[in-house]
Amino acid sequence: MKEILIISGKGGTGKTTVTASLADLAAQKYQLVMADADVDAANLEILVNPTVEKEYAFMAGNIAVIDQDSCTLCGRCAQVCHFDAVRETDDAPYYIDPAYCEGCLSCVHQCPVDAIKVHNHQSGEWYRSKSPYGPLFHANLYPGEENSGKLVTVIKESARAFGEDSCKDFLLIDGPPGIGCPVTAALNGVDIAVIVSEPTPTGFHDMRRVKAAADFFHIPTLLVINKHDLNLKMEDTMRKYAGEKNIPVIGVIPYDEHIVHAQSLYQPITQTLHARYQPIFQQLWEQIRLHIGM
Amino acid sequence: MVITIASGKGGTGKTTVAVNLAQSLVQNNVRKTHLIDCDVEAPNAALFLNPDIDENKSVERMLPVIDPEKCTACGTCAQVCQYNALAVAGGKVLFFKELCHACGSCALQCPEGAIREVPEQVGLLESGHKERLRFAQGTLEIGFSSPTPVIRALKKWAITEPSKEIYILDASPGASCPVVETIRDSDFLLFVTEPTPFGLHDLKVVVALNQKEFHLPAGIIINKSGAQDGLIEEFAAQVNLPILMRIPLARQLAEAYAEGKLFIDVQPQLRSDFLAAYQRIGDLITASQDKT
Amino acid sequence: MQIAISLEDNGGMDAKASSIFGRCAFFMIVDSESEVFEIKANTARQASGGAGIQAAQWIIDRGVTAVITGNLGPKAFDVLSTGKIAAFKHNGGSANDALKAYQQDALESLIAPNVSAHSGSK
């Protein structure tokens, strides 16, 4: 099974739009499994109409909790915490804020009266759903929670295991924005990363950073320039950069306000704006298959 | 006054709003204004602003170094490490830097005192100005997964007069740890969204975050505004959030953005819209303080 | 000699050998001569990161001298080789198949990591 990740560096360049359209085309001839690795703001479900079949609790890891009755207010926990998680609140002089606690358990060991306990913490949910294009693994990280990298890993590994077991041809992953833990978790082990960028100063800047992240993990990359006609000069600059870095430019998509409106139809644009976008995405899909050796 | 701009969804226009709002305030001689780019994984505000950088500072985390003379390979460090960054095998300690969370637990627990902590750079802070607008940003080193310590250090360094001056913080997309760190200790949350199902879906996530963790006064700016604003308006009414401003969906603005130009230079009436939004933000902050 | 075998299930000697190391479901610890064994759930499976490292540490702490698995990533390999644990690749099949092949010296030795990080089930 080949694994294709769609990333961008910058948010809003069109990853989900591209992923949904590729899924639509790929599913016509191949067996597909999908994963939405943007667990903070999972949007692929808006376009692929999934029905949840199985739901799982996501247990992030441990957090430390102070038993206020046993606490002697010595402040040792606040001294040792490297994450500024021990805060004063109206109810307690020493309270560990779960949003900041990283579960290192240093305070648990250091508390002289053993007043700090370890709790396993549910920080989200993930789902195996079915959709018209194939099974979808997606998640919902509760707001303010940490550990999105682990949740991305859980989704990917489940999607991968499911795909291998049911002999799927492709795992298509809608990636998260940025270059941090969710992106590195998404990058690990994929066969190819398709960078979707835009010809703007920020699009180009972030494309270079995400390319560096892909290089760090030795993942080959391809480039798609979305909204390419907004700035043809910048498109040219990006193509030159891609040439220098040996990133094949596999296609471009025009700036089109119809796409913005078409999102509200809750379908991939290869369906809703079929005449214009079916041929464009067909070409992108063929190029991806070519580079991945399928 | 500390105003944090968040969205949930990437690409709705946080940085655009941050830069244009900051410039509107500065051009109108409002109080001393700072723009702080807290999207340390992919800081972009500088691309629009082209600030002169005067100062920089590295952000470090403390990593363990094991003294082989004192180490008895007892295995305590490997046991206490919650991240599997340490393993003890064949009488040696193996350290996996990429997994280390720099918590200091191993150094504290080592019974032989064989572990000391040394600094390693995880990010870079820079500050400067563009004419009268003060600017600061943080950049996360590639290969490090946690932006939170860099954001924390940036805010501590750059926000020196929160009650006298205006700080506009540009957050990263999403609603997890880096966004929480950015919003912490702010006075107002400005949500930038777009009138699409994506924009609405992700707006709900950050609104829920505010309701759960912060309870800050907040308001919405609709970017790429047009016929489908109803999607957002309906939700905003449900959660009692005012719509402070709309920026139209217009090719002219998209092209200006693609060329790194300010919206307020291309459509000057937006400048007064930003100023009006700022006035309302001030009123909303005061109203919420009066309540408590 | 104590051998560890990564397993997909805990069905005794008929259990299916797992190609995953760090996040496999169970480990069998078996004496290669007497064939006395026990099966334990792999606690590393739930780790946020470094599952391979944690599994390798667990194996070393139990005095195992050889591991039979499928895919061994660079970090897990590092820990095992530093601990002088020999690693072998099984051919699919059951725990019993893997053990017999080991006894007959018919298993491929893993002298370097055979997959990149996080390749688990590939």
Interface subset of A 219-248, CB within 8 angstroms of C: none
The answer to whether the Cβ–Cβ distance between B257 and A206 falls below 8 Å is: no
Chain C residues close to A171, C-beta within 8 Å: none
Looking at the complex, report in whole angstroms how far the Cα of residue B38 sits from the nearest Cα belonging to chain C: 26
Selecting from C51, C54, C60 the residue whose C-beta is nearest the C-beta of B89 gives C60
Kindly provide the ipTM of the predicted complex, given to two decimals.
Answer: 0.88
Q: Do A165 and A32 share a domain, yes or no?
A: yes
pLDDT of residue C67: 97
pLDDT of residue A177: 84
d(CA B18, CA A285): 37
Number of H helices, E strands in chain C: 3, 6
d(CA B36, CA B157): 11
Q: Which of A160-169, B265-274, C44-53: highest mean pLDDT? A: B265-274
* A186, part of any domain: yes
Residue of A nearest to B231 (CA): A264
3-state secondary structure of B227: coil
Is any Cβ of chain A less than 8 angstroms from the Cβ of B289? no
Question: Residue for token digits 């026990």?
Answer: C38
Is any Cβ of chain A less than 8 angstroms from the Cβ of B204? no
Structural domain count of chain A: 2
> Which of A105, A122, A139 is where one domain is finished?
A122
Residue of B nearest to A202 (CA): B44
Q: Do A152 and A236 share a domain, yes or no?
A: yes
The predicted-structure confidence for A139-151, as pLDDT tens digits, reads as follows 988 877 776 778 8
Q: Do A74 and A37 share a domain, yes or no?
A: no
For B186, which DSSP code? -
Q: Do A136 and A251 share a domain, yes or no?
A: yes
pLDDT of residue C121: 47
The answer to whether the Cβ–Cβ distance between B99 and C50 falls below 8 Å is: yes
Domains, chain B, in order of start with CATH, read 2-59+122-291 (3.40.50.300), 68-113 (3.30.70.20)
Average confidence (pLDDT) over A216-243: 94
Q: Which domain holds residue A38?
A: 2-49+131-292
pLDDT of residue C117: 63
Contact A99, A108 (CB under 8 A): no
pLDDT of residue A188: 83
Q: Given a cut of 70, is residue B292 above it in pLDDT?
A: no
Selecting from B83, B87, B99 the residue whose C-beta is nearest the C-beta of C79 gives B87
For chain B, the first-to-last Cα distance in angstroms comes to: 17
> Which of A122, A141, A160 is where one domain is finished?
A122
Q: Given a cut of 90, is residue A204 above it in pLDDT?
A: yes
The CATH number that applies at residue A75 is 3.30.70.20
pLDDT of residue B155: 98
d(CA B134, CA B129): 4
The answer to whether the Cβ–Cβ distance between A164 and C48 falls below 8 Å is: no
Q: Do A43 and A66 share a domain, yes or no?
A: no
Across chain C, mean pLDDT equals 90
Q: Given a cut of 80, is residue A60 above it in pLDDT?
A: no
d(CA C41, CA A114): 29
* A179, part of any domain: yes
Across chain B, mean pLDDT equals 93
Question: Residue for token digits 């950050």?
Answer: B206
Q: Given a cut of 80, is residue B75 above it in pLDDT?
A: yes
pLDDT of residue A102: 86
- Phi and psi (nearest 5°) for A167? 55, 45
* A55, part of any domain: no
Contact A212, A7 (CB under 8 A): no
Of the listed ranges B72-81, B158-167, C42-51, the least confidently predicted one is C42-51
The answer to whether the Cβ–Cβ distance between C82 and B75 falls below 8 Å is: no
The CB-side HSE value for C47 (13 A sphere, CA atoms) comes to 26
pLDDT of residue A230: 93
The predicted-structure confidence for B26-37, as pLDDT tens digits, reads as follows 999 879 999 999
The answer to whether the Cβ–Cβ distance between B75 and C78 falls below 8 Å is: no
> Which of A74, A98, A122 is where one domain is finished?
A122
Q: Do A153 and A177 share a domain, yes or no?
A: yes
Q: Given a cut of 50, is residue B120 above it in pLDDT?
A: yes
To 5 degrees, how large is the angle CA B118–CA B120–CA B126?
Answer: 135
* A6, part of any domain: yes
The CATH number that applies at residue A169 is 3.40.50.300
The predicted-structure confidence for B265-287, as pLDDT tens digits, reads as follows 999 999 999 999 999 999 999 99
Q: Do A279 and A197 share a domain, yes or no?
A: yes
Average confidence (pLDDT) over B56-83: 95
Q: Given a cut of 90, is residue A129 above it in pLDDT?
A: yes
3-state secondary structure of A4: strand
Q: Given a cut of 90, is residue B186 above it in pLDDT?
A: yes
The predicted-structure confidence for C19-37, as pLDDT tens digits, reads as follows 889 888 999 999 999 999 9
pLDDT of residue A97: 87
Tokens representing residue A86 in the block: 């021990």
The predicted-structure confidence for B110-119, as pLDDT tens digits, reads as follows 999 999 999 9
3-state secondary structure of A34: strand
pLDDT of residue B137: 98
Tokens representing residue A239 in the block: 């193509």
Greater confidence (A18 vs A101) lies with A18
Looking at the complex, report in whole angstroms how far the Cα of residue A161 sits from the nearest Cα belonging to chain C: 7
* A285, part of any domain: yes
Selecting from A102, A144, A263 the residue whose C-beta is nearest the C-beta of B197 gives A263
The answer to whether the Cβ–Cβ distance between C53 and B84 falls below 8 Å is: yes
Fold (CATH) for C2-42+63-109:
Nucleotidyltransferase; domain 5 (3.30.420)
Across chain A, mean pLDDT equals 92
Contact A115, A27 (CB under 8 A): no
Q: Do A156 and A273 share a domain, yes or no?
A: yes
d(CA A127, CA A159): 10
The predicted-structure confidence for B222-250, as pLDDT tens digits, reads as follows 999 998 999 999 999 999 999 999 999 99
The answer to whether the Cβ–Cβ distance between C120 and A188 falls below 8 Å is: no
Looking at the complex, report in whole angstroms how far the Cα of residue C26 sits from the nearest Cα belonging to chain A: 16
Q: Given a cut of 60, is residue C122 above it in pLDDT?
A: no
pLDDT of residue C102: 96
Of the listed ranges A75-79, A127-131, B175-179, C112-116, the least confidently predicted one is C112-116
Interface subset of B 74-133, CB within 8 angstroms of A: 80, 82-83, 101-105, 108-109
Chain C residues close to B90, C-beta within 8 Å: 82-84
Q: Do A109 and A196 share a domain, yes or no?
A: no
Average confidence (pLDDT) over B140-153: 84
Q: Given a cut of 70, is residue B67 above it in pLDDT?
A: yes
pLDDT of residue B8: 82
3-state secondary structure of A110: helix
- What pLDDT band is residue C120 in, cutting at 50, 70 and 90? low
Q: Given a cut of 80, is residue C88 above it in pLDDT?
A: yes
- Cα–Cα distances (Å) from B168 to A139, B37, B159, B206, B222, in that order, read 31, 8, 10, 18, 18
